[in-house]
Structures are given as structure tokens and as C-alpha cells.
Amino acid sequence: MDVVDFQLSGFDELEQQLEQLELAAQQRILRKTVREAAKPIEDKMRTMFHQVWDDDTGQLAGSISTRVTVPRNRTFADVVASVGVFKNRSMQLSTGKEIDAPVYAYWLEHGTRAHSLAAHASLRKYSSGDKRRENKRISRPGQDEGRQHPGIQAGPFIRPSFDSRIEESL
């Protein structure tokens, strides 16, 4: 009987790839599970938004979603779920709005004070520390002089959604 000797190489790389495939499969399952666990928060957020606010274009409601990521540095978590209002460029372009949905969501969640809509209106902000006023000029060409926005009363829908569904999600 003749014995044939041959060598195969690449088993170390194959073993590494198989280990990564196993990890990738684990991550895929973990991401899917976390996404399903976060779904009640997302659904509640969308429902509360429609209860509190009118959605004329659908941009904000369509921008409420869940993002699940696997962090590179896993010292604090294997997977992270973020539920909220995210920038949705295609939705923004289709509705013709200039301002991103997360900006609108912040204003609706926290409210705004009355402010001028006139061109070159002054935005006053306080710097940290000595409470000095800093004036910053903004330009809004085409706006009527003297127009005043009455402000928006806060109508929270993000934080209450999280608070009411966190136990269920966990």
C-alpha cells in the first residue's frame, strides 16, 4: 500500500473564520432579540406622539425608530439599543422640510419660548460661568419684520414612552 503524504495549509485561518462566524451568528441573534425587546418603547413613542401632536407631513413619526449596534469596545455592553427620533434624509426630502426631525422632536419634547421670526433676530444665550450674554445674529431672508412666534408648550412623548415601557422591555 502506497502512502501519500501531503500538507494542507490555512486551517488556522479557517478556524478563526469559523469562530468569527459563530460570534457573528451570536451577535445577529442578540441584535434581533434586543430589537424585539425595544419594540414596545418604539410603539408607545409613536402612539404618544400622535396623541399629543398633529403630524402634517409624517416626517417625525416616520423618523421614530430603533437602532441596534454592537459596540467595538464591549466593556460596558455587548449590544446597544437606541430608541428615538433619528435623522431620516429620504423622509426629510420627500416632505420638503429643511429642519431635521430630531430637531423638531427636541422642540416638541421640551417646548420653546416666544421668539422673533424677523430677519437678523438676536439669539441670546448664556455662556457657562459668569452668565454673560452673548448675542448671535441669525439671518432669515424673506421673513416679515416684526413677526413673532408664540413659542410651543412642551408636549413630552419620548421620555414618558421610555419610562412607561422600560420594565416590559427589560
Dump pLDDT digits (tens) for 39-97: 999 999 999 999 999 888 888 898 999 999 988 887 777 788 999 999 988 888 888 87
CA distance from start to end of the chain: 65
According to the model, what pLDDT value does residue 52 have?
92
Task: List Cβ neighbours of 16 (8 Å cut-off, separation of 6 or more).
Answer: none
Residue that is written with C-alpha cell 439599543 in the block: 81
CA distances from 101 to 7, 27, 89 (A): 60, 30, 9
pLDDT tens, position by position, 90-128? 888 888 877 888 988 999 999 998 887 775 555 555 445
Q: Is the pTM of this model over 0.75?
A: no
